[in-house]
Structure 1
Amino acid sequence: MGEDVGRQEFTRADRTKYRTKVRRCLDAFERMLREAQFEFDRPMTGLEIELNLVDGDNDPALRNAEALAAIADPAFQTELGQWNLEINLAPRELDGAGVSAFEEDVRASLNAAERKASAVGAHLAMIGILPTLRLEHMSGHALSVNPRYELLNDQILAARGEDLHLAITGTERLRVSCDTIVPEAACTSTQFHLQVSPEQFPAMWNAAQAIAGVQIAVGANSPFLLGKQLWAETRIALFEQATDTRSEELKAQGVRPRVWFGERWITSIFDLFEENVRYFPALLPIVSDEDPVEVLDQGDTPELAELRLHNGTIYRWNRPVYDVVRGRAHLRVENRVLPAGPTVADTLANGAFYYGLVRTLAEEDRPVWTQMSFSAAEENFHACARDGMDAQVYWPGLGHVPVAELVLRRLLPLAYEGLRRWNVDTAEQERLLGIIEQRCTRRQTGSDWQVAAFRKRFDGTAMERGEALRGMLGSYVEHMHTNEPVHTWAVD
């Protein structure tokens, strides 16, 4: 969720000062892009995974502070809800067996964390939305103990001027109101980072946007929320609504939401940061002492703290990232589309598919985004979130096709070619992309398995819904620990 903050109240003068400062940061950023002051010697990738904590009955365990203390690993940190944790992996290159190295690191870290957290009655679950969450968990007492989360909660609700209303219609219907942003904590995601040059960024971001829907269809893992079966990837609808600062009147006026697919293909990373500044008021108007233009004039690298903080409160599904490491600036595409889980192997297969596919699409002579409208990409995105493997999507040259057919016939070969260009070992390509192929062939994602396992318990039996969901989640966690990909799981 970003850097910790401690300030609790803001004045009108604070907001005016912040607006001026963030625009000065934008000017400095534009100058840096002109002068090519970015590191790109070795393109690195990164990985973040948000996790859930459950107790011995597979209910949410609101114990992340105790779990963090027990785990005692700086790679882990809190997230918004007390049943959330996040693990951040050290960046690495993809070439050779780099993807396997990621997988080994994640498995070792999670296994060690599970052993330690279990001592305080908390167990790790990699799943998009905990199916055992209940409305009683959606209140302020479930916020993690961190001033940033309380401040975000206060600022988002103040901007809305009213309670949060969730309305999602899928297989079943959900209609609830909440007086906090805690429902956002129900969404746990996997974030893939890809370091790129300023020149490469537009093509990589456009490619990521074009395939976002397909990613969801093959990686869906969030069919349940508050006991209801909704979308294949309910996270998408939930996150869009849980962080919406707009009243109904502002929605009717066409004001843009803070969880945003976007509205156009781009020609520069500057387009995205400039849109952020132009369209969105500050949520956390905290001003640093740095003058970014003076820092540039001195030959140093500015932190651009205000621009980065503002960017962190606008939740694009593919977010632009400016960062400074050891005094050198770099740019990343942060892919935020996918849910956590079901296994580490599935997660890295999703990563291989993403990294390979965007590489090939970004380097094509006639890019896919020159052949389809941006609105078609957004329609694909929501269709895949709603329908998963059953979605029909638009693709240039093919028209509307079943998403599994698109992946098998057109996109997997492109992903293989992209991984070859990243110099990923052939055996790694075949193992990881083979997982994606089998998911499409067998039509079993994490979401599909969850629904089937729940229905096996609930339909035609006397088992109560909550009991069926807990039983399904218990079986899910057992399978998760085997690290066998979800397409191999028996519905038990």
Structure 2
Amino acid sequence: MFERMLSVSSFEAGRFMTGMEMEFCLIDEDLGPAFRNEEVLEAIDDDAFVHELARFNIEVNVDPRTLEGDGLIGLDHDVCEALTAAQTAAGHVGARLGMIGILPTLMAQHVTEPGWMSRPKRYAALNDAIMRARGEDTFIDISGESGERVTLYSDSIGPEAACTSVQLHLQVAPGDFAAYWNAAQAIAGPQLALAANSPFFAGQMLWHETRIPLFTQAADTRSIELANQGVRPRVEFGDRWITSIFDLFEDNVRYFPALLPETTDEDPVALLDKGEPPELAELRLHNGTIYRWNRPIYDTAGGRPHLRVENRVLPAGPTIIDVMANTAFYYGLLIYLANEDRPVWTQMSFSAASTNFRHGARDGMGARLYWPGYSSISPDELTLRHLLPLAEEGLSQWGVSAEVRDTYLKVIEGRAISRQNGAIWQRDVVFALERSGLDRAAALRRMLQLYLENSEANEPVHTWEIPGS
């Protein structure tokens, strides 16, 4: 059915349309998680802000738009305005919004003991379906380079709720989808290394982007036995370059049983024969329970179907200016690489892209990455020597103004030159505070206090100072 749609339906294409979702941690007066999303959402009173999985999280959905001309400045302004209003409203109920991949003061009991889950019933249904499919408690086991380690068992998907992200959407034509998805996969490692912002979980210093292994393990529907047998995980980077979006939806059916079965009265064939786009609710629901880091999206709007690449790689924060810089860098690279005469994915193996992704998450700015023509290279050097000029050219091809390109790509340049992203800053501050005599718990609270002050000032993270340096 979907394969037929790709060949006969009139999909929305035209100008690139973008979308953004941003998740926030809610923080209480003692700098721990605030389990108050019901009260916060009621105080905010804006339909753009919605529940997330845990009671200490919310999400904002930004209206779709094109970023040509000065569009990114408008997006920046709209997000800042919405966040300022939400921050004020949250303060009235004793909470504060934080943009950070994993809240550093979040401990294991916050995501394993009763009461962590948001009220909407869909979250309980998803939790029950994943745990039923798994058939045993989830085991989280993550080790950092310093030897610090977190191991815990959970009878729910609660540990997944520790992870907050920014998700970037780009609407593309069906015939172009494979090129854009492949390009997104190719740049995921450098993208993640440059933007890492989740080095702590449960009091331990782990990966630079601990969000990646934590989410992967927490949402795994496989028992240990099935994992050892090579059954594919539900959270995955992928296993090959694709030639069509159909490759991904075909894999959905072949490898992943439905978690949340849904049936509707819709007759998609009849609708297609009448020239109307089917909603394909079952396909969309099933796709939403398979957590690719670059996910294919089918949707309808204004009576026409469209396809989107959803990039789920980036952590939240540290600031709005950093998020906008990450956004410009991603879209610019994507547009350039997807339209090259000799695409980068024809010059590197998929396993190299997958390894880059893992190394970028684990080692951040200290990663060694593979890129055609450079072999083993650091993320900062790859960015400065190669990727930044490509991103600038891609944004130029899109029609983004020179002033906007310069504003946001200079932030990426500064981060690469300084080799300081959110993860590096958090780690270095905690090291400094521990050297001054604080224990780990006190150092994390003090670091988070400084982080929030810097974040709300909206100065890019590469300019943040380390106490005592």
Q: How far is the alpha carbon of 1:455 from its aligned partner? A: 1.5
Return the offset for 1:56. Answer: 1.2
Distance in 2 separating the partners of 1:466 and 1:120:
25
Matched, 1:109 2:85: no
Tell me the CA shift for residue 433 of structure 1.
0.6
| Structure 2 counterpart of 1:477 | 452
Alignment correspondent of 1:143: 117
Paired residue for 2:258?
Answer: 282
Q: Partner of 1:235 in structure 2?
A: 211
Quick one: distance in 2 between partners of 1:166 and 1:93? 40
TM-aligned CA deviation for residue 31 of structure 1: 1.2
* Equivalent in 221, 244, 249 of residue 245 of structure 1: 221
List aligned pairs for 1:326-345, cutoff 5 A: 326-345=302-321
Gapped regions of structure 1 (runs ≥ 5): 1-26
Please list the CA deviations of residues 218-259 of structure 1 after superposition, one character each: whole Å capped at 9, or x if unmatched.
100000000000000000010110100001111111110000
Q: 1:343: Cα distance to partner?
A: 0.3
- 1:163 aligned partner: 137
Q: Separation in 2 of the partners of 1:69 and 1:178?
A: 30
Choose the corresponding residue for 1:127, options 100, 107, 125: 100
Which amino acid is 1:467 matched to?
A
Shift of 1:460: 4.5
Is 313-322 or 292-301 further displaced after alignment? 292-301
Q: Percent identity?
A: 59
Q: Which residue of 2 aligns with 1:176?
A: 152
- AA partner of residue 132 (structure 2): A
Q: Deviations over 1:182-237 (max 9, x none)?
A: 11010000000000000111000000000001011110000000000000000001
SS at match of 1:199: helix
Aligned runs of 1:310-389 on 2, under 5 Å? 310-389=286-365
**AA paired with 1:143?**
M
Q: Alignment partner of 1:194: what SS?
A: strand
In structure 2, distance between residues paired with 1:301 and 1:399: 46
The partner residue of 1:96 within 69, 80, 85 is 69
Q: Which amino acid aligns with 1:345?
A: I
The alpha-carbon deviation at position 298 of structure 1 amounts to: 2.1
Q: CA-to-partner distance for each residue in 1:261-285, whole Å, 9 max, x for gaps?
A: 0100000011111111111001100
Question: Per-residue displacement from partner, 1:144-166 (whole Å, max 9, x unpaired)?
Answer: 00111111111111111111110
Structure 1 consecutive aligned stretches of length 4 or more whose deviation exceeds 6 Å: none
1:56 aligned to 2:29? yes
**Could you give the per-residue CA deviations for residues 38-72 of structure 1, whole angstroms, max 9, x where no partner exists?**
01123200111010000111110000010000000
Instruction: Decide whether the 8 Å contact of 2:190 with 2:357 is kept in 1.
Output: yes
Distance (whole Å) between structure 1 residues aligned to residue 12 and residue 98 of structure 2: 36
Q: TM-score, normalised by structure 1?
A: 0.93
Q: 1:226 aligns with which of 202, 206, 225?
A: 202
Q: 2-side partners of 1:128 and 1:472: how far apart?
A: 15
Partner of residue 420, structure 2: 444
1:490 aligns with 2:442: no
SS of alignment partner, residue 92 of structure 2 = helix
- Counterparts of residues 273-312 of structure 1 (less than 5 Å): 273-312=249-288
Cα separation, 1, equivalents of 2:108 and 2:333: 39
Which residue of structure 1 aligns with residue 244 of structure 2? 268
Query: Structure 1 residues 201-210 or 448-457, which shifts more?
Result: 448-457
Which residue pairs with 1:20 in the alignment?
Answer: none
Shift of 1:467: 1.5
* 1:399 Cα deviation after fit: 0.9
Q: In the alignment, residue 183 of structure 1 is paired with which amino acid?
A: P
Query: Quick one: distance in 2 between partners of 1:401 and 1:464?
Result: 36
Local SS of the residue matching 1:420: helix
Further displaced range: 284-293 or 342-351: 284-293
The CA deviation string for residues 358-406 of structure 1, in whole angstroms up to 9 with x for no partner, is 1111111110100111011000000010000010001111111112111
Partner-residue secondary structure (3-state), 1:267: coil
C-alpha displacement at 1:36, in angstroms? 4.0
Q: Among residues 413, 432, 435, which one is paired with 1:459 in the alignment?
A: 435
SS state at 1:364 partner: coil
The counterpart of 1:392, out of the listed 358, 364, 368, is: 368
- Structure 2 residue corresponding to 1:194, chosen from 170, 175, 196: 170
Q: Deviations over 1:70-102 (max 9, x none)?
A: 000000000001000000000111101111111
State whether residues 9 and 275 of structure 2, in contact with CA within 8 Å, keep that contact through their aligned partners in structure 1: no
Give the 5 Å matches for 1:59-78: 59-78=32-51
Q: What is the aligned partner in structure 2 of residue 18 from structure 1?
A: none
Letter in 2 for 1:152: L
CA distance in 2, matches of 1:271, 1:403: 30
By how many angstroms is 1:491 displaced?
A: 1.4
Pair 1:32 & 2:10 matched: no
Distance of aligned partners of 1:310 and 1:88 in 2 relative to their CA distance in 1, 3 Å threshold: same
What TM-score comes out, normalization by structure 2 length? Answer: 0.98
1:491 is paired with a residue whose SS is coil
